[in-house]
Amino acid sequence: MTTRRKLLLAAALTPIAGAAFARDSITEAGALRILNPWTRAAGQGMQGGGFLVIRNTGATPDRLVSASSPAAGRMELHTHIRDGDVMRMRPVNDIPIPANAEVSLQPGGLHLMLIGLTAPMNAGQSIPVTLRFERAGDVTVQLAVQAAGVRQPAHRH
């Protein structure tokens, strides 16, 4: 196959690969809805961030108390804080999920931290993560791996 044909084929398939990120991803656990979980590509041994939206449709608050994944040596719940002119990441003990509210885990704010990746996370893959809630219990979601450096998922609710 010529280089030109390879380039044309790659260009034709690009929208198909992108479609995997454009579809909505919702996982339900009782009154909780976990929407559009995603992460960025990163190398083995590195760190990664997990991002998603947690919507509590119920009248009772909940808390995200931990997360785990076979893709990382360990996971932490993190936030960003301003330290003078510098933004720094810091672990938090839990993330409150108020009743009838929505909490966004996103770049530059609250997020999941995957520490010591056990293998590379490549764009197009999905990474299993188990979220542990105080009331809803364990909920497993798939983080859609997007290109390194993106600031938001390809599609948002």
Residues composing the chain: 157
User: Would 128 be classed as within a structural domain?
Assistant: yes
Beta bridge partners of 149: none
47 or 19: which carries more pLDDT confidence? 47
User: Would 109 be classed as within a structural domain?
Assistant: yes
Alpha-carbon separation of residue 143 from 1, 9, 53, 87, 130 (angstroms): 35, 27, 12, 25, 10
pLDDT digits (tens, 9 = 90+) for 47-100: 999 999 999 999 999 999 999 999 999 999 999 888 888 888 899 999 999 999
Residues 6+ apart with CB under 8 A from 44: 117, 118, 119, 120
User: Would 20 be classed as within a structural domain?
Assistant: no
pLDDT confidence tier of residue 24, bands split at 50, 70 and 90: low
User: Would 50 be classed as within a structural domain?
Assistant: yes
User: Would 61 be classed as within a structural domain?
Assistant: yes
Q: What is the CATH number of the domain that holds 79?
A: 2.60.40.1890
Residues 6+ apart with CB under 8 A from 78: 49, 89, 90, 91, 92, 110, 111, 112, 113
- The domain in which residue 138 lies consists of 25-146
Beta bridge partners of 120: none
User: Would 114 be classed as within a structural domain?
Assistant: yes
pLDDT at position 18, please?
38
Region 17-38: what's the mean pLDDT? 74
Residues 6+ apart with CB under 8 A from 10: none
pLDDT tops 80 at residue 31: yes
pLDDT at position 44, please?
94
Q: Note whether 23 and 155 are within 8 A (CB).
A: yes
User: Would 19 be classed as within a structural domain?
Assistant: no
User: Would 154 be classed as within a structural domain?
Assistant: no
pLDDT at position 155, please?
55
Number of domains forming the structure of the chain: 1
